[in-house]
Structure 1
Amino acid sequence: MSDLTPVDWAPATRDTHLSDDAWALIDEATPPSTRRAYREEWNRFTRWCDTEQRTPLPATAQTLAQYAAHLAGRDLAPSSIGKAMAAITKAHQTAGHGEPDRRGAREVLRGYRRRYARTGGTTKRAPALTLDALRAMVATLDPATLVGVRDRAIIVLGFAMGARRSEIAALNLTDLEPHPEGIQVTVRLSKTDKDGTGRIVAVPYGSNIATCPVRSVAQWREALAHHGRDTGPLFLRIDRHGRLGHVATGKGDPDGRITGETVAAIVRRAAEAAGLDAAQAYSGHSLRRGFATAAYSAPDADLVRIARHGGWKEGSAALFGYLEEVDRWRKNPAAGIGL
Structure 2
Amino acid sequence: MSDAQLVIRPSRDVARTRPEPVYTDTDFALGDEARELIAEGVADETRRAYARHWRDFEDWCAHTGRVPLPATPHTFTEYVTDMCARGLAPVSIEQAMAAIRTCHRTAGYKGQPDREGAALALRGYRQRRAKSGRRNQRQAPVLTIEQVRAMAGVCPDDPAGWRDRLVLDLGVALMGRRSELIALFQDDVRVVDGELEVLIRHSKTDQDAHGETVYIPPGEHPLTDPVGAWRQWTAFLAEHGHTGGRLLRRFYRNHRVGPSLGGDAVNDIIRGLAVRAGIDGAEDVTAHSLRATGASWAYAERAPMSAITEHGRWKPGSSVVLRYIRAVDKRRNNPMRGAGL
Alignment TM-score, normalising by the size of structure 1: 0.89
Compared with structure 1, are the counterparts of its residues 240 and 125 closer, same or farther at alpha carbon in structure 2 (3 Å cutoff)?
farther
CA distance in 1 between partners of 2:98 and 2:254 (Å): 40
Alignment TM-score, normalising by the size of structure 2: 0.89
Give the equivalent residue in structure 2 for 1:229: 242
Deviations 1:222-271 (A, max 9, x none): 111112111111111224544211xxxxxxxxxx2112211111101111
Give the equivalent residue in structure 1 for 2:140: 126
Give the letter for the 1:52 counterpart: T
Deviations 1:94-141 (A, max 9, x none): 333334222221121122222222222212221112211111111111
Aligned-pair RMSD on alpha carbons?
A: 2.1
Give the letter for the 2:47 counterpart: R
- Alignment of 1:43 onto 2:55: yes
How many residue pairs end up in the alignment?
A: 325
Displacement of 1:278: 1.5
CA distance in 2 between partners of 1:317 and 1:231 (Å): 37
CA distance in 2 between partners of 1:293 and 1:29 (Å): 32
| Percent identity (aligned) | 40
Q: Which runs of 5+ in 2 are unaligned?
A: 1-13
- Alignment of 1:106 onto 2:119: yes
Residue number among 67, 76, 79 corresponding to 1:67 in the alignment: 79
Deviations 1:201-225 (A, max 9, x none): 1111111122210110111111111
Displacement of 1:93: 2.9
Compared with structure 1, are the counterparts of its residues 315 and 11 closer, same or farther at alpha carbon in structure 2 (3 Å cutoff)?
closer
- Alignment of 1:212 onto 2:225: yes
Q: How does 1:24-39 map to 2 (within 5 A)?
A: 24-39=36-51
Residue number among 249, 263, 266 corresponding to 1:263 in the alignment: 266
CA distance in 1 between partners of 2:284 and 2:61 (Å): 34
Residue number among 81, 88, 106 corresponding to 1:76 in the alignment: 88
Give the equivalent residue in structure 2 for 1:87: 99
- Alignment of 1:188 onto 2:201: yes
Q: How does 1:1-339 map to 2 (within 5 A)?
A: 10-100=22-112, 101-122=114-135, 123-143=137-157, 145-245=158-258, 256-298=259-301, 300-333=302-335
Q: Secondary structure at the match of 1:186?
A: strand
Give the letter for the 2:311 counterpart: H
Displacement of 1:9: 5.8
Give the letter for the 1:187 counterpart: I
Give the letter for the 1:287 counterpart: L
- Structure whose alpha-carbon radius of gyration is higher: 2
Compared with structure 1, are the counterparts of its residues 65 and 207 closer, same or farther at alpha carbon in structure 2 (3 Å cutoff)?
same
Displacement of 1:82: 0.1
Compared with structure 1, are the counterparts of its residues 223 and 99 closer, same or farther at alpha carbon in structure 2 (3 Å cutoff)?
farther
Give the equivalent residue in structure 1 for 2:11: none
CA distance in 2 between partners of 1:282 and 1:174 (Å): 30
Q: Secondary structure at the match of 2:26?
A: coil
Compared with structure 1, are the counterparts of its residues 242 and 105 closer, same or farther at alpha carbon in structure 2 (3 Å cutoff)?
farther
CA distance in 2 between partners of 1:282 and 1:11 (Å): 56
Give the letter for the 1:162 counterpart: M
Compared with structure 1, are the counterparts of its residues 237 and 338 closer, same or farther at alpha carbon in structure 2 (3 Å cutoff)?
closer
Compared with structure 1, are the counterparts of its residues 113 and 272 closer, same or farther at alpha carbon in structure 2 (3 Å cutoff)?
same
CA distance in 2 between partners of 1:164 and 1:139 (Å): 23
Give the letter for the 1:285 counterpart: H
CA distance in 2 between partners of 1:54 and 1:336 (Å): 61
CA distance in 2 between partners of 1:277 and 1:128 (Å): 11
Compared with structure 1, are the counterparts of its residues 336 and 141 closer, same or farther at alpha carbon in structure 2 (3 Å cutoff)?
closer
CA distance in 2 between partners of 1:227 and 1:273 (Å): 29
**Greater mean deviation of Cα atoms: 232-241 or 307-316:** 232-241
